[in-house]
Amino acid sequence: MLQVFNYNAGRGDCIRLRYAGISGVLHNILIDSGVSRFGLEFEFICQKIISDHEKIDAVLIAHVDLDHLGGLLYNLRNKTTMCMEEVWMNHGRLMRKNTDLAVKHNDELYTRLKEQNIPVKAATTGTTYELDGAVFKILWPNKEILCNLFGESSSDVLLKKHSDYGYSFDELMEMPIKRSDTSLSNRASVIMEVDYKGQKILFTGDAWAGDILQVVENKTYDLIKLPHHGSIRNISEEWRGQIMCKNYMICTDGISHPDKQTIAKLLKWNDEITVYGSTDWWKCMLIAGDEEKMEKIHFVRGEYLWKLSDGK
């Protein structure tokens, strides 16, 4: 049994994996902690796991920006005791300090975790964590990328208000993808592949499209968490026929993400898809002319979104 929860963490990410190990013990892996204002909800999620007599085996911080680490940092700043076994992240000693605000937040998180004696482990290329029948393989980033990128000044530009919601899915399917992500800190996002009893899930943080295509070893996945909240800048035309999946998760509250063309392209490449979200942001993008395509796009709303049974 593997369950995936996608919490409404504002414009940020907060995902929970819960699975039964070979031993029969239930395990919990949290991926990111949302924005700072999600901090109280993140604390509640953690406390609920503990009160259910389970434990938080690890928290993966996939990306240095506040929309990924904000909830955890909020609690650490408020001296909240965080009952987690360990944290996987691109932590301070892998980066040059004080290069930009995002890295400062990352270094602060690292320092405050150490103050609570929570072990911090690296999440870089080639690192594999095995836990009671599940394998967590870090595909990206490598240390060279981290050193190069965070030795330079970088700035994240929030996606603008949508300019493609006035187009139909048919029109967007035929339009070329003209933009690509240029954020250096996004490029250092952790890309992690989870293998549980033969089922594979890919988590991508805010990674660049080309890097994802470069490092994935298994081209077919049961579920992919799309990068950068569903931005068209973080997928590419080269994905077609190279990354195969029918089920996608987008982490967003719908305020400034995702791009409608992202969904249009995934539909074109896969013929039929299911898109999971914690809110029903997709209602804002639908226009007259989308009715036929909506028969092949299955939107599913809810925090508890995914379950792989042992028998699947």
Q: What are the boundaries of each domain within the chain?
A: 2-303
Strand segments, DSSP code E, in the chain are: 2-6, 15-20, 26-31, 56-60, 87-89, 120-122, 128-131, 134-140, 191-196, 199-203, 223-225, 247-249, 273-277, 297-301, 304-308
Q: What is the DSSP string of 181-210?
A: ---HHHHT--EEEEEETTEEEEE-TT--HH
Decide: 60 and 32 in contact? Cβ < 8 Å: yes
Buried b (16+ CB within 10 A) or exposed e, 281-290: bbeebbeeeb
Tell which phi-psi region holds residue 230, choosing left (phi > 0), alpha (psi between -120 and 50) or beta.
left
Number of H helices, E strands in the chain: 9, 15
Give me the pLDDT at residue 91, please: 59
What residues form DSSP beta bridges with 223?
A: 201
DSSP strand pairing (273-277 vs 134-140) = unpaired
Is CATH 3.60.15.10 correct for 2-303?
yes
> How confident is the model at residue 245, as a pLDDT?
95
pLDDT digits (tens, 9 = 90+) for 107-148: 788 888 988 999 999 898 999 999 999 999 999 988 777 776
Pairing between β-strand 223-225 and β-strand 199-203 as defined by DSSP bridges: parallel
Name beta bridge partners: 249. 225, 276
Please give the pLDDT value at position 309: 58
Separation CA 237–CA 98 (nearest Å): 36
Quick: pLDDT tens for 180-194: 999 888 999 999 999
Residue 31 is which amino acid?
A: I
Name the token pair of 59. Answer: 């928290």
Q: Give the residues of the chain that fall short of pLDDT 70.
A: 91-103, 148-163, 218, 304-312
Torsion angle defined by CA atoms of residues 78, 81, 85 and 86, in that order, rounded to the nearest 10 degrees: 20
